[in-house]
Amino acid sequence: MSKIKDKVALVTGGGSGIGRAISELFGAEGAHVHILDLNAEGAEATKAAIESKGGKCDIHIGNVSIQQEVIDIVAKIGRVDILVNNAGIAHVGDLEHCAEADFDRVYQVNVKGAYNALYAVIPAMKANGGGAILNLASIAAVVGISDRFAYSMSKGAIFAMNLSVARDYMAYNIRSNSISPARVHTPFVDGFIAKNYPGQEEEMFDKLSKSQPIGRMGQPAEIAKLALFLCSDDAAFITGNDYPIDGGFIKLNN
């Protein structure tokens, strides 16, 4: 049985990595998937993958950091039953290696982008009698990770916004949860390794893989399965929580 058949799902950053895997699984489970992404090529590839399996997908090219763009896109979609706040960017560096421009860039996408999507979608969900929200936090929200000053700041904000929204909109039949992956093998990870550790790519990939006690990075499809559960009615009793999906990173790294 399809768990989210005929639901309308908006996935930000659905053109790559975790967002693509979530979009593909939601499409296969019968949802009408709407992707909001900056990257047209990536979004087109996700749409093609969904449609090749008989699913429904529309893409909206836009920037989650720009509130009016997000509002206009959500107005065009109309009904939204599920929001996956997934678009995000990385920055590697401790406080002294986080310039104002770096801090602002991460804030604009990871924090303000998530706020913009929530701001646009919540009224639509209220009008429609409810919905489910999933926010992509990270282990960096709850564990001190080296050289992730701005990124940790942004994911801590996701963790807290999730609680606030879950509390305020419970009365409107809106559930909100977050998930906190450890390293998942996506272009996001390959990109920051290439940018920050040139010439040491293999060594860093191995090091990051082994930082999960389970000995490897997660796969986007594994994150998508948890996302599906939390956004479906199977999780009707679950709101205001964060779910690590981390190969033992938080509790078994000793």
Ligand X SMILES: NC(=O)c1ccc[n+]([C@@H]2O[C@H](COP(=O)([O-])OP(=O)(O)OC[C@H]3O[C@@H](n4cnc5c(N)ncnc54)[C@H](O)[C@@H]3O)[C@@H](O)[C@H]2O)c1
Helix axes 220-231, 17-28, angle to 10 degrees: 50
Give the C-alpha separation, 217 to 211, whole Å. 9
Burial class of residue 239, CB neighbours in 10 A (0-12, 13-18, 19+): buried
Q: Which of residues 160-219 bind ligand X (CB under 6 A)?
A: 181, 183-184, 186-189
- What is the closest distance, in whole angstroms, from the C-beta atom of residue 113 to ligand X in the complex? 6
By C-alpha distance, which of 49, 62, 41, 63 is closest to 21? 49
| Residue 151: active-site member | yes
Instruction: Return the residue of 11, 27, 39, 231 that touches ligand X, per CB under 6 A.
Output: 39
Three-state secondary structure string covering 215-227: CCCECHHHHHHHH
State how far the Cα of 71 lies from the Cα of 40, in Å rounded to an integer.
19
* Catalytic position from the list 115, 151, 169, 243: 151
Q: Does 87 bind ligand X (CB under 6 A)?
A: yes
Q: Which of 23, 138, 178, 232 binds ligand X (CB under 6 A)?
A: 138
Dist. CA 173–CA 76, nearest whole Å: 23
- Residues in contact with ligand X, total (CB under 6 A)? 30
User: Which residue among 13, 27, 55, 244 contacts ligand X (CB under 6 A)?
Assistant: 13
Comparison of 26 and 188: residue with beta carbon closer to ligand X: 188
Q: How far is the CB of 197 from ligand X (least distance, A)?
A: 15
Looking at the annotation, which residues are catalytic?
Answer: 151
Residues in touch with ligand X (CB under 6 A): 12-13, 15-19, 36-39, 42, 63-65, 86-89, 109, 113, 136, 138, 181, 183-184, 186-189
